[in-house]
Amino acid sequence: MEILGIVAFVVALLLSVMVHEFGHYITARRFNMKVTEFFLGFGKRLWSYRRGETEFGIKAIPAGGYCKISGMTPDDQMEPGEESRAFYIARSSKKLIVLGAGSFLHFVLGILLLFVLLAGVGVNSLTSVVKEVVPESAAVVAGFQQGDEIRSINGEEIKDWARGVDLIRSANGAALGFTVERDGQIVELQATPRLTDVGGEKRYVLGVVNEIGTKRLGILTAGKDSIVITADMAVQSVKSLALLPTKIPQLWGQTFGGETRDANGLVGVVGVARVSGETIASGDQNWSQRIGTFLLIIASLNIFVGIFNLLPILPLDGGHMAVAIADEIRAFFARLRGRPRPAPINVQVLTPITAVVVVVLIALTLLLLVADIINPISLNG
């Protein structure tokens, strides 16, 4: 079963890569840029077919994918008569759209996955059904029993137990009327919540422990909440990336120094795949909960990758976007001075910087790979 989860993760990851590259492809074609290749994977070509001027296919190493746009730099040779279709001579606004389309679709995919989770699969939520009545509580005095379903409080229908908790706390110790369904019969109860110490904080409580069930949100609520959650995940991703330099020494110690692996620390693709496998194989969750957790993992991964790709460093999309923005700033100052627009920045002159970044990213990837193998993060440990 764990293998099934790992395979599902790999498939989801490759589909996410396809979505990212499709963003580049569709926007480049929209602006009449020439796209010659669209491949999933790297290395030896396993299969391909040509549609128009673009070759689509699969390569042997499933470690990503790419969309090859002609004329990324002034040194790229364009076919005679197609020089105007080169990427580097396009307006900066078009470049930014093409470059940012990949990350944009990661965010869209994240929102869609969260929407499916909230509206389709459902999320764990406290229900209004009483699982346990706390001894010597207000609920005992009022006559609550296990299995009671609280239908309303003071005449207000309870569809979400979070609202029930709000009503109980905001009553500030005043008596409340409860309409309860018990064995198919409607029972009216009166209870006075008691001020109780909960985790060091004084709160008015009824004294019941409610059952946990699966709750599906309405389409509009799920749509709104999926956007809000995506925004929150994006903010957390930015914070995580800002703390990345401080976590690398910790990861080194956890990998080679025998330190306990931080569940909230850095994790690589292998680690996420392992967690996905454990999620699907978990005997502590039903299938709805397993699928929901898996969707949440894939959604958060897409949002993180979307943010990561926007970092203003080459060779990431964000680095190329920074170059396009720099082109516009240079053009702006040229206009102020009455000078012609300067030639676009040739990213190849930044190759030494790009090479350093690539080496750092490869080193970090290898460190994460070793960490995930030697000292893996596990849901069960």
Question: Which is nearest to 208 in space by CA: 150, 125, 124?
Answer: 150
Q: CA-to-CA distance for 336 and 334, rounded, in angstroms?
A: 5
Q: CA-to-CA distance for 6 and 12, rounded, in angstroms?
A: 10
Question: Which is nearest to 220 in space by CA: 111, 108, 112, 115?
Answer: 115
Catalytic residue among 21, 53, 211, 328: 21
Alpha carbon distances (Å) from 219 to 198, 263, 294, 308, 380:
35, 33, 21, 30, 34
Give the 3-state secondary structure of residue 214.
strand
Q: What is the DSSP letter of 217?
A: -
Q: CA-to-CA distance for 285 and 288, rounded, in angstroms?
A: 8
Q: Are 95 and 324 in contact (CB under 8 A)?
A: yes
Active site residue 21: yes
Q: CA-to-CA distance for 296 and 294, rounded, in angstroms?
A: 5
Q: CA-to-CA distance for 131 and 48, rounded, in angstroms?
A: 58
Q: Are 193 and 173 in contact (CB under 8 A)?
A: yes
Alpha carbon distances (Å) from 66 to 28, 30, 41, 58, 365:
13, 18, 8, 10, 19
Q: Which residues are catalytic?
A: 21
